[in-house]
Amino acid sequence: MSPELQQVGREEFVLNMGPHHPATHGVLRFVLHTDGEIMRRAVPEVGYLHRGLEKLAEAHTYAAYVPFTDRINYLESMFCNQVWSMAVERLLGLQVPRRAEYLRVIACELNRIANHCIALGSIAMDVGAYTPFVYLLREREAINDLLEALCGNRLTYHYVRIGGVAHDVDEGWQGKVRAYLDHLEPILDELHSLVGGNEILVRRLGGVAVICASDAVGWGLVGPNLRASGVDWDLRRDRPYSVYPELSFEVPVGRGEQGQVGDCYDRWTVRVAEMRQSVRLLRQALERLPAGDILAKVPRSIKPPAGEVYQPVEGARGELGLYLVSDGSPKPSRAKWRSSSFAALSIVEHLSRGLMIADLVALIASLDPIAPEVDR
């Protein structure tokens, strides 16, 4: 190698990606230390969307904080509503009516499909395929319409409440959901021919940014990202809550179809497979929806006894946890959100060594982080 060429690579080029960048999924910034196209490290800089939601919890009553949980993560508000409600219910020792539990499952699984539509669409868009994003947005629009009819808003649902849910559903709405599921299943096949099986996408994702199982566990990855790394774990099945034990579904795990287990393509396929499982869950839940109340008898002023709980649920991005401390007063003493995007972003610096810049984009997209959930 000539001396000039040996000098190449000694210098470091620092490049800012974000805070406003199409591939950063919200407002977050990556400081890239690169050597040509090869990354030395990419350091995520977060906090642009910090709204102090944990501090705000200390200033609001338990019931009044529920609308704030909508804002933790605008793509999985239903799960945030649910985890808050479940934590408070556990502190109160409250039993939720079965119809409400079923309605929660229905609302959450719809939300999961909507979230995965965005996740898959943005993976495709970030590696250069714009059209699937628009097609998937169309599918999500239909879910937004269904959820708007259910709870009145398209993103900030405020549907799952402490002790149950806010609104009941009628036959007409259930029929609409069934019709939508019938429509969605062929679309998922179509998605495969449209983009999932596309050689360009496969090459951009297959074998790229492999996360091994021990890294995934050590860095606290959860949900689809963890399962893509070959860890067969789903809270809905393994630490059952709500009425999930009564429903049958499979937990898709990454198998390294187009490269290695834990690559970006596995994170794609696991999400597609999860959408199919959500469809399955929705059909069962609609079928078995029992009659009854939708809201338990909740005291007018909610004052849980002093104590603390950590409540996890399997959100669309995996374990969404809430650590809630009550001191016996009407307002929580401490609330800490454990979000999956937080863990997903913290692993980026570790994985970025030696990646190409374009692969970093694929990695970030396939981890499906959402900035407001990181910053809270």
Partner 1 sequence: MGALASYLRAIGRTVLSVGDGLAVTFSYLLRAPVTLQYPDRMRVPVIELLPERSRGMLEVDLDLCTGCAACDRACPIDCIALEVVKHAERGRLIQRFDIDLGKCMFCGLCTEACPTGAIRHSHEFEGGTGDVRALVVPFVDAPRQPAKAKQEPPPAPKPLGSILRARMPGPWDRPRPPARPEGGEHAG
Partner 2 sequence: MSPAEELATCQAALAGALGEAPTVGGAAPDPAGAAAPAGDAWLEVPAARWREACRAARDLPELGFDFLRSLAGVDRPEAGRIDVVAHLFSYRHRRALVLRTSLERAAPELDSVAQVWPAADWHERELWDLLGVRLRGHPDLRRLLLPEDWPGHPLRKDWQEPAEYRGIPTRREARATAGELAKQTYLAPRGLGRDPAGGQPDGGGGA
Asked whether position 131 contacts partner 1 by CB under 8 A, the answer is yes
Report which of 91, 76, 105, 74 is spatially closest to residue 288, judged by C-alpha positions: 105
d(CA 367, CA 341): 8
Region near partner 2 per CB under 8 A, out of 189-197, 291-299, 323-331, 356-364: 323-331
Asked whether position 295 contacts partner 1 by CB under 8 A, the answer is no
Asked whether position 195 contacts partner 1 by CB under 8 A, the answer is yes
Interface positions, 282-311, toward partner 2 (CB under 8 A)? 305, 307-310
CA atoms within 13 A of residue 202's CA, in its CB half-sphere: 11
Decide which of partner 2, partner 1, none touches 181; Cβ closer than 5 to 8 Å per partner kind: none
Region near partner 1 per CB under 8 A, out of 106-114, 149-157, 278-286, 352-360: 149-157
Specify the residue, 255 or 336, whose C-beta has the smaller distance to partner 2.
Answer: 336
d(CA 60, CA 151): 22
Interface positions, 57-86, toward partner 2 (CB under 8 A)? 58
Residues 126, 364: contact at Cβ < 8 Å?
yes
Asked whether position 158 contacts partner 1 by CB under 8 A, the answer is yes
Decide which of partner 2, partner 1, none touches 197; Cβ closer than 5 to 8 Å per partner kind: partner 1
Question: By CB under 8 A, how many residues form the interface with partner 1?
Answer: 33
Helix, strand, or coil here: 187? helix
Specify the residue, 74 or 219, whose C-beta has the smaller distance to partner 2.
Answer: 219
d(CA 291, CA 288): 9
Residues 276, 226: contact at Cβ < 8 Å?
no
Cα-Cα end-to-end distance for the chain: 50
Place of tokens 């501090």: 55
Cβ neighbours of residue 370 closer than 8 Å, sequence gap 6 or more: 25, 26, 73, 74, 75, 317, 341
Q: Which helix (H) or strand (E) holds 54?
A: helix 53-57
CB of 151 to partner 1, least distance (A): 7
Report which of 269, 237, 236 is spatially closest to residue 254, judged by C-alpha positions: 269
Asked whether position 63 contacts partner 1 by CB under 8 A, the answer is yes
Residues 51, 58: contact at Cβ < 8 Å?
no
Decide which of partner 1, partner 2, none touches 63; Cβ closer than 5 to 8 Å per partner kind: partner 1
Decide which of partner 2, partner 1, none touches 66; Cβ closer than 5 to 8 Å per partner kind: partner 1
Asked whether position 162 contacts partner 2 by CB under 8 A, the answer is no
Would you tell me which residues interact with partner 2 (CB under 8 A)?
46-47, 50, 52, 54-55, 58, 90-91, 93, 215, 217-220, 231, 233, 238-239, 305, 307-310, 312, 319, 321, 323, 325-326, 333-334, 336, 338, 342-343, 345-347, 350, 375-376
